[in-house]
Amino acid sequence: MYYFYKLTNWLFFMSLELKVNTQSNIQEFIPQMLYHMGEMCKDHAERIQSIQDPEFDISKVKSVLSKGLWYPSEYCQVLEKFNQKNRLNWMIKNGAPFHGFMPTTFTPIEDAILPTKRKLDQYKIAKDVTPSRALESIQDSICLIGCGTARNIAVYRTLQDLLGKKRFDLLFTGDSNTPLQLGTNNNSYERLFKRVELRSTASLQPGDFCHFSNIQYYVAKHPFGHARGYNAICEEANKEDSRFLALGLKPGCLATDVENALLDGFNAPQYSETFFTPSILSYVYGKTLLRDEQRSKELVESHKDCKLTQEQFDTMPNRDAHASIKAERRMLLSVERPDLDKIKMLVEAPLENIRKVFSRLSS
């Protein structure tokens, strides 16, 4: 009887401890996600800063370029600057400046329409690779991606922290209905976020997924540019000076810093067309922009030397704002917010039921 009492007592206190730990984990979701996003932004900023330093030791260029998250055209521009011809030619031949590049732990998602036969910056976990291994490989590889994909990585890393490797691997394995996938609007965790329409940026909360949009004329000058907009995460929410994290920007930037980066992106020189194969150029000019190859080329050429002042930039409409999606300056007022109730249900799910629970959360 004594031992039965001791066992019952132990189980009771263990259940209390589990509830406390689970609640603690849920409260850590947003800070942990911001930490992972901040580390990626910091690493990218340091790499860019190092190669822009006039005293940069060129003998270290290969170590700087051997890993890290980069925008595709940005990476090729750096390769060209430091005369890394072999790597640049390989990237161009394989279409990486156009559709991106990930380590072999991921495979591109196919698209028969695009010239490279793969979707832009969209990947799924490779066969026979565990999700935790796929995430780990990003740390030590070159990844040519967009800012939305960097945000995906931050969320998956946070979910792995909360779920542990065993449950994380089971949930996002390649043969499941929810495989680990990367790319804007191409991920398996969307059900853990909810769409929120804000009245103003004063309603932002930490952890909100935000989008800052460049002006409509951006693609007329930069059909291959990455500054069409920034997919950011709100790091600190304040009425006057909220702070954000986005790949390509220094951690903890203000909305005005993001807007300045968008203006700088517009005023920057065009990326070299030599980064793209003839089939890619033909597709971009013939199937997008004005849908006429010659007229599209003339449009881009006519904007080649176009630069705007801050005052001119501020008067121009956003690329992505329209009647159904409002904007405050350059930030769209439609955000995605972590649904902590759903995340709590997932974190509390036992190993044997985690797929079933995750499936129910999609409804």
Q: How far is CA 159 from CA 21, 151, 184, 192, 357, in A?
A: 15, 13, 18, 10, 15
pLDDT greater than 80 at residue 16: no
**193-197/334-338 β-pairing:** antiparallel
Q: What is the average pLDDT across 23-37? A: 88
**142-144/68-70 β-pairing:** parallel
* DSSP codes joined into one string, 128-150: T--HHHHHHHHHTSEEE--HHHH
Among 135, 126, 74, CA closest to 100 = 74
For residue 19, give the H/E element and its range. helix 2-27
Indicate the burial class of 234 (C-beta count within 10 angstroms; 0-12, 13-18, 19 or more): buried
**How far apart are alpha carbons 199 and 189 in whole angstroms?**
26
The predicted-structure confidence for 31-60, as pLDDT tens digits, reads as follows 999 999 999 999 999 999 999 998 888 788
**How far apart are alpha carbons 231 and 97 in whole angstroms?**
19
Specify the amino acid at residue 13.
F
Task: Say what the pLDDT of residue 17 is.
Answer: 38
> How does residue 295 score in pLDDT terms, banded at 50, 70 and 90?
very high
For residue 79, give the H/E element and its range. helix 72-81
Q: How far is CA 76 from CA 106, 109, 347, 352, in A?
A: 21, 22, 41, 46
Q: How far is CA 80 from CA 62, 73, 84, 102, 356, in A?
A: 13, 10, 6, 20, 49
Among 326, 333, 336, CA closest to 195 = 336
DSSP state of 292: -
Q: What is the average pLDDT across 231-258? A: 95
The predicted-structure confidence for 266-290, as pLDDT tens digits, reads as follows 999 999 999 999 999 999 999 999 9
* Token duo for residue 197: 């329409």
Burial pattern 75-109, b for ≥16 Cβ within 10 A else e, equals bbbbbeebebeebbeebbeebbbbbbbbbebbebb
The predicted-structure confidence for 217-234, as pLDDT tens digits, reads as follows 999 999 999 999 999 999
Asked whether the CA dihedral 310, 263, 250, 78 is positive or negative, the reply is negative
pLDDT greater than 50 at residue 335: yes
> How does residue 122 score in pLDDT terms, banded at 50, 70 and 90?
very high
DSSP state of 193: E
For residue 297, give the H/E element and its range. helix 293-302
* Token duo for residue 143: 């990844």
**Residue 225, helix vs strand vs coil:** coil
Task: Say what the pLDDT of residue 167 is.
Answer: 97
**How far apart are alpha carbons 359 and 356 in whole angstroms?**
5
Q: Where on the phi/psi map is residue 289: left (φ > 0), alpha (ψ -120 to 50), or beta?
A: left
Which residues are bridge partners to 134 per DSSP?
none
pTM, entire model: 0.92
> How does residue 211 score in pLDDT terms, banded at 50, 70 and 90?
very high
